[in-house]
Amino acid sequence: MGCFFSRRRKPAQGGQQQPAGTGQDAAAGAEKAPQYSWDQRAKIDPKDYTFSGLKDETVGRLPGKVAGQQFVIQDCENCNIYIFDHSATITIDDCVNCQIFLGPIKGSVFFRDCKDCKCIVACQQFRTRDCRKLEVFLCCATQPIIESSTGMKFGCFQYYYPELALQFKDAGLSIFNNTWSNIHDFTPVSGENNWGLLPETAVVQDYVPLPSSEELKAVRISTDATKSIIPITRGRRQKSSDESCLAVFFAGDYTTANARKLIDEMTGKGFQLVQTKEVLMKAEDAHRVFQQSASDFIPLLEKGPVVALEFNGDGAVEVCRSTINEVFSGTKVFVSESKASASQDVDNFYNFADMQMGM
């Protein structure tokens, strides 16, 4: 069978086909080979997207050097590894006693047969198999899964460098969708717990140090929790109070900035940020979540996804409402009406959001 793009040469007069490339007429009539976009792309060398068989080394990739490609890390020991860029997928196999930073991953990150590693990871999907003693500061858009793994510890992703926000966007990840503590153990053992949470006082830099190589020092990193690109949430840690408050910002030019501003205001006043979510809503969803206030907010839902924040602490509802009135007086925001209704507001929204995201 011929190629789809092949062309049959017309025979010369007299029924005989003239040999290709002979005679002036053939030279003049020869067609230039077509050029296709895939022929003009830069050739990908897998070695540029692989760290393999390294020992006692510090290695990494600077922003812009991975640019959405898939990456492989394997058979490394006692290494510090940094991927300061977004990628498609990353697999980490048979690594021992490594410290690893992985920038935003559009798809999945899969750890297999690794042990005694400390990691900072942002991804759409997180999975481990046959791993032992991994400590992970995690941002994961979907429920993280561990399988045949023990001694796993998790904390909330916290990291900053100037290019990181755009990398999250390029990877299609929202900084507000982070289920870092909602771990699913695919192979639980009766009477044992294969995973737990890192201490609240855990300092990222004590687990994954800043890079020591001159090349990687060029990345302007901050591990200060207050500068983290991801809002630091309590997740499934025990709440300090029976009172929570739901605040929902609607899509607009300053949605992210407004949400970050409210987080700073509330945490600065001693309240805890429990969880955040960014999700699209429809009119029927609004009736379930906003109830009697739904009609005020339905027109705003057509503009894009909403950003929801749950704060916890005694007096959270009153302080959140007064802060919204003082700081965001010209912005339409849904806030729980009262302490009595707040818990139901939180449950209604996050149950809906988890269903939307398949969790």
The annotation places the binding site at 107-108, 124-127
Three-state secondary structure readout of 199-249? CCCCCHHHHCCCCCCCCHHHCCCECCHHHCCCCCCCCCCCCCCCCEEEEEE
First to last CA, the chain: 48
Residue holding tokens 């190589």?
Answer: 213
Instruction: Name the nearest CA neighbour of 114 among 99, 136, 129.
Output: 129
Rounded Cα gap, residues 18 and 23, in angstroms: 9
Q: CA distances (Å), 67 to each of 49, 168, 301, 336, in order?
A: 10, 12, 33, 42
Strands (E), 33-88: 50-52, 58-61, 71-74, 80-83
| φ and ψ of 90, to 5 deg | -140, 135
What amino acid is encoded at 140 in this protein?
C
Sign for the CA dihedral angle at 287, 305, 229, 195 comes to: positive
Q: Tally Cβ neighbours within 10 Å of residue 340.
A: 10
Instruction: Name the nearest CA neighbour of 180 among 123, 133, 219, 116.
Output: 123
Quick one: angle between helices 339-356 and 283-290, nearest 10?
A: 150
| Residues in the chain, total | 359
Binding-site entries for GTP: 107-108, 124-127
- Dig out the tokens for 149 from the structure: 């793994």
